[in-house]
Each structure stands twice: as C-alpha cells, then as structure tokens.
Amino acid sequence: MRKRILAVADMVHPYIYRDTFPSGLEPLDLVLIAGDLPGYYIEFIATRCPCPVVFVHGNHGEEKVKDYLGNMVDPGGAINAHGKFIRAGDFSIVGWGGAPRYNERNDGGQYSGMEVKLGLAKLEWGLWLEKRKHSTPFDIFLTHAPPPGPHAGKDYAHRGCKEIGEFLARHQPALMVHGHVHAYEGKKVEYQTDFGSRIVNAYGYTLLELELPSAESTVQKNIRASSQSVFVASDKQVSTD
Ligand SMILES: [Fe+2]
C-alpha cells in the first residue's frame, strides 16, 4: 500500500495556510506535524484534511489553544502523539515532542536525556507485544528534535538527541519525521540511515510517499474499523473520536 503523507513543522507555510488548501494536492492519507507550530494552524489543517492528523509539540509551547472556558487545551481534530504509541488509519506511530534541554526555561518543551530515555522506555513493553504480532512494531517515529547525524544542528539548542537516536536504532521504523532544524542550514531534507530508516526534516512542508505492508493482521483490521485509536505508554486504550 503506497500512502501519501504531508509533513509540516516550524513555520506557518503560505502554501498550506491558504483559503483553498488542500486543493492542488493529491488525496492525503496522513498529516504529520513535527512541532513548533501554533495551535490555530494545527486546527486549520485538521479541519481541512479528511485523514488522521497527528502532532507532537515543539520547544516553544505554542501548540495549545484556548477552549470556550478559557482553558489551554490541545488543538481540536488532531491526535497528540507525545509519549504514545498510536494507531491512526493504516499507520502505527510513536511520538516524542520537545527538544534536548538547552537552558533553564521550564515550559515543558525541553527534556533532559534521562527524561527522554524514561519516556520512551515506558513504551517499550507495548512495542515488544506489538513485535510479536507484526514484523515491525511501528511504521513512523514522529519527533520534534532530530537524532544525531546529518540533520542535527550545529548549535547546542538544535543538537541531535542521543536518546532519540538510540530508540530509532533499536526499532528501525520505516520513516522518522522531525522538525526543529531549519532548512536554511543547507541540509538535505531526507536521508537514509545505514539500517534503512528514512529520516525526513519536515521544516515548512514536505510531501512524501510511504510503502506500507499490504497484509493487515486481524487486530489491525479491527482497530482500523473502529476509526482511530491511541495506546498510551501504560497500555491503556483511549478512543480519540
Ligand atoms: Fe524547535
């Protein structure tokens, strides 16, 4: 199954934030939002796209929107994948937002190496169970920060996250999408690791195709039939409809 994915991060792009979006694009199967984008933009995309819209937060704390009671909440219509293993449509996704800590600000967008390590470790038990049912436990790793390597920034605030890189190497998903590092640094938008994972920087917007295994297990079919599902780190299942 060849799937079409729109990935965005870090800037409100005029090609996406326009009256006629998504006209001009072939039908999308998934939107991935890799952080540092305002909540109104995430809601705009979610209201225009008839496919799952999955996001993680960046390091600037701008993803929340105000609800009718004045509370700051996640943007409507989109699935927050931070610290979760989720199934949305045909896709299985692990998410981790924020960036490696680079100053003392404490607004929830920066994490120590130990926090990343423990946060992702909480998912490993569920992923191990998935691996017994599927050859690869998940297809997509959605993060804000890049792993160490070609997409890592040269400065301390945009350095690659070692713990994200280790998690990536352990599970080797088909695709990793991140943001945080701006494309004007002259880096390639996509590269492939030596173990075969595609690494895509979603800065601005990027359209990509992903080949998914065509054979679905009964479990997957049942989950897909019940629309979208979220499996949180503790193995709880929460409907997101
Ligand atoms: Fe960032």
Q: How many angstroms is it from 86 CA to the middle of ligand 1?
A: 23
- Mean pLDDT of all residues in 216-236: 43
pLDDT at 170: 94
pTM beyond 0.85: the answer is yes
Measure 163 CA to ligand 1 centroid, in angstroms.
Answer: 17
| pLDDT reading at 230 higher than 50 | no
pLDDT at 171: 93
186 confidence band (pLDDT: 50, 70, 90): low
Q: Domain span at residue 235?
A: 2-239
Q: How many domains does the chain have?
A: 1
pLDDT at 28: 97
Q: What is the DSSP string of 125-138?
A: HHHHHHHHHSSSS-
CA–centroid distance, 222 to ligand 1, in Å, is 36
Tens of pLDDT, residue by residue over 24-76, are 999 999 999 999 999 999 999 999 999 999 999 999 989 999 999 999 999 99
Rg (CA), the chain: 17
In whole angstroms, what is the distance from residue 6 CA to residue 53 CA?
A: 9
Distance of alpha carbon 97 from alpha carbon 105, whole angstroms: 16
Q: What is the mean pLDDT of the chain?
A: 88
Could you tell me the distance, in angstroms and rounded to a whole number, from the CA of residue 33 to the centre of ligand 1? 12
Output the pLDDT for position 224: 44
Q: How far is the CA of 170 from the centre of ligand 1 (A)?
A: 24
Buried residues in 47-67 as b, exposed as e (16+ CB within 10 A): ebbebbbbbbbbbbebbbbee
Supply the CATH number for residue 227's domain. Answer: 3.60.21.10
pLDDT tens digits, residue range 73-98? 999 999 999 999 999 999 999 999 99
